[in-house]
Structure 1
Amino acid sequence: MSAKTITESRRTRYTRQAMRDALMELLADRTLAQISVKQLCERADVNRSTFYAHYDSLEELLRDIEDDTIAWVRGALDQLLNQSDQAGIEHIIARICQYIADNRNHLQVLMSPKADLGFQQQLLGLIYSRRDVASQLQPYSDDPAEAEMRMRFAVSGSIGLLQYWLATDLAAPADTIARTICAMTMPQTQQ
């Protein structure tokens, strides 16, 4: 079950954001299994009853955060890929990297090595599985096994680079990370 249906007043949005922020702060130092609802409520300065009015569990709160991130990426991809000039893969990856930079507090936790690798793979798999994007990553052969290996390398390598970037507190600009991802994952045209 996703987040409980509650009228989205300004106060409700503030409370939900406070709980999200508190969970991300707690996850920076410990695993989800080591966090209690009581600890989260103390950090967010909300009552337990308030927490349970919004979520059934900490896992549901985390899924809500992950789902919002996935929804943004899906929407950004749809928007970029539907542009008349057919935005290139580097532009798409640059937008995603800028989103990561703009939302670094949450994404430093979500993309960390101790976080849910399934979410990370889902996030980048969403990007690389799009036909428009995948066609740019395909090798110059019709070998499906090679195409699958290239896709897995692109996803895993991108996760590793993004984790490094976040661990260094975004020492490089987002467009530099996007160019590096593209250079490492896309085959160069053969002369």
Structure 2
Amino acid sequence: MDARTSRTRARLHDAVLELAAREPIVDVTAAAVCRTADVTRDTFYRHTTDPVTLLGDALAVELDDVIGDAPDGPIGVAERRLLQHVAHRADVYRGAMRPVLAAPVRSILEQHLREGLHRYAVAHPEIVPPALVGEDDLRLAAAYAAGGTVGAVEEWLRTGSTDVEHAARAVLAASPSWWLRADDPDPSKTRSTP
């Protein structure tokens, strides 16, 4: 992406995040984004189809920074970083709920979690239960965990809380214990790799 396109995209992202923090995303218009970003409608539609999709794209960029390196650290750290991001953007996420997250926003969040959890399982094969055999099983387990985590995030947003530690403890306590084995210093709880 050239520098001009990158700057325009950043202005559009900043504009939609600003507007979505003030009002529900379903009420944000393309015209409002254009005014805030100081771009034409033609420019807007060269970059996106609608404000909700643009919001999903803007959050995806932030999520790349937040959970992009999940396999490098304990899953509890990655979970807290995700929840810190959601807490930081709580007004935006709450404004994207009717009663659940708008499809583009939910999809981006779930996709990032699914990919991060899959990478984590691949990076830590010693945690994977013997019943999960092969790539398809790992992807299925990651999708299941990601869907549950997004559901938990939606419920947390509904409470109005931004207490990251409380939410992280609840989500990690509800998670299957095998996901947390790599974080556990007790090697007797892990299986050996074949």
**Range into which the TM-score falls when normalised by the shorter chain:** 0.5 to 0.7
Task: Give aligned-pair identity as a percent.
Answer: 13
1:128 — aligned with what?
A: 117
Aligned-residue offset at 1:103: 1.5
Distance 1:20 1:135, change over 3 A: same
1:91 aligns with 2:82: no
CA distance in 2, matches of 1:143, 1:183: 21
The one of 14, 18, 22 aligned to 1:17:
14
Q: Paired residue for 1:167?
A: 158
Q: CA deviation at 1:60?
A: 4.8
Stretches of structure 2 lacking an aligned partner (at least 5 in a row) = 182-188
In 2, the alpha carbon distance for the partners of 1:91 and 1:182 equals 11
Give the structure 2 partner of residue 185 of structure 1: 175
Q: Does 1:157 align with 2:148?
A: yes
Residue 30 of structure 2: which of 31, 34, 37 is its match? 37
Question: How do 1:56-135 and structure 2 match up within 5 A?
Answer: 56=45, 59-79=49-69, 81-82=71-72, 87-110=73-96, 113-116=100-103, 117-132=106-121, 135=124
Cα RMSD (Å): 4.1
Question: Secondary structure at 1:140's aligned position in 2?
Answer: coil
User: What stretches of structure 1 of length at least 5 have no aligned partner?
Assistant: none
| Local SS of the residue matching 1:141 | coil
> Are residues 105 and 78 of structure 1, via their aligned partners in 2, closer, same or farther at CA, if it must alter by over 3 Å?
same
- Structure 1 pair 111/181, CA: closer, same or farther in 2 (3 Å)? farther
Q: Is the 8 A contact 1:121 1:159 kept in 2?
A: yes
Q: What amino acid sits opposite 1:75 in the alignment?
A: D
2:126 and 2:140 mapped to 1: Cα distance? 11
The one-letter code of the counterpart of 1:140 is: P
Deviation at 1:14, TM superposition (A): 6.7
**Any idea what the Cα deviations from partners look like across 1:23-61, whole Å, max 9, x if unmatched?**
5545x2747xxx6534x36xx8559x8342641176354
- Output the amino acid matched with 1:119: I
**CA-to-aligned-CA distance 1:115-151 (integer Å, 9 cap, x gap):** 0142332132132222357748965214337655533
Higher helix share: 2
| Paired letter, 1:124 | L
Q: Is the 8 A contact 1:154 1:185 kept in 2?
A: yes
Matched pairs, number: 174
